[in-house]
Amino acid sequence: MPTDLILICHGHTAKRDGERRCGWWADMPLSRRGKQQAVLIGERLRNDFDICALYTSPQRCARQTVERIGNLVQVVPQVEDALRELESGDLATLSCEEAREYYPGVLEGQSPEEARVPGSEKDADMHNRVARAISRIVHLSPDQQIACVTHSRPIIACLQAIMGYMPEHERKPLFSCRTAAIHHLQLDPAGDPTVIALNDTTHLAALPT
């Protein structure tokens, strides 16, 4: 029997901390919309799956998302540090305006590594830590349905790893990952994947745009 792996991107986050506009690197809470999205994710999992284990990134947006999901599916979430977002180093405390001044490449699509942000994590290191964590989590729950709440970059890294692509591959497939989206894969005992759904946001249809 395969293991069902459900990867979930956290809900929409607040964009401002007081007067400061924050980027993806800031550890921000869910916005009001994000809290609504988290409830809808939980209802979707409760109705369509039998979740036996629930894991989350330690960051606030993920923990607030998983708290609402856990209440609905009646599973106590476990914090998994390796599911955290790409480490942003010195970016972590900067507003978008400050980042534009010191590391403009980040706001133009560069990774912190490419923008040479001190203390930042290499993309390859994130890929490897996420791949190892997901492999361990899957092996802990054979033949069950498990869900992981994390962030877009770790989800993309996980999808690439499951499909056999390593960081050194220059032409890895690209994936879209929307806020509050669900990605569903089945992994057989040998680890071979079957893709059931990617970037699924049908559970959000009731929310106004």
Average pLDDT of the residues in 2-16: 96
pLDDT at residue 141 in the model: 92
* pLDDT score, position 43: 98
| Per-residue tokens: 162 | 């499951």
Structure tokens at 167: 């960081």
Residue 170's pLDDT is: 80
Same domain, 99 and 197: no
Q: Are 170 and 101 in the same domain?
A: no
Same domain, 112 and 157: no
The sign one gets for the Cα dihedral 115, 7, 175, 82 is: positive
Residue 65 shares a structural domain with residue 99: no
- Mean pLDDT of all residues belonging to the chain: 95
Bridge partners (DSSP) of residue 120 are 88
The token pair that represents 122 in the structure block: 């290499």
Per-residue pLDDT band at 134 (split at 50, 70, 90)? very high
Domain assignment present for residue 209? The answer is no
Structure confidence by residue, pLDDT tens digits, 151-209: 999 999 999 999 999 988 888 899 999 999 999 999 998 889 999 999 999 999 989 87
- Write the burial class of residue 114 (CB in 10 Å: 0-12 exposed, 13-18 middle, 19+ buried): middle
Specify the pLDDT at position 209: 72
Please give the pLDDT value at position 143.
Answer: 93
How many C-beta neighbours within 10 Å does residue 110 have? 14
Res 87 pLDDT > 80: yes
Query: What pLDDT does residue 19 have?
Result: 85
Instruction: Look up the domain containing 33 and give its range.
Output: 3-86+122-204
Same domain, 134 and 36: yes
Q: What is the pLDDT of residues 23-37, one digit of tens each?
A: 999 999 999 999 999
Same domain, 115 and 146: no
Shared-domain flag, residues 114 and 199:
no
Q: How many domains does the chain have?
A: 2
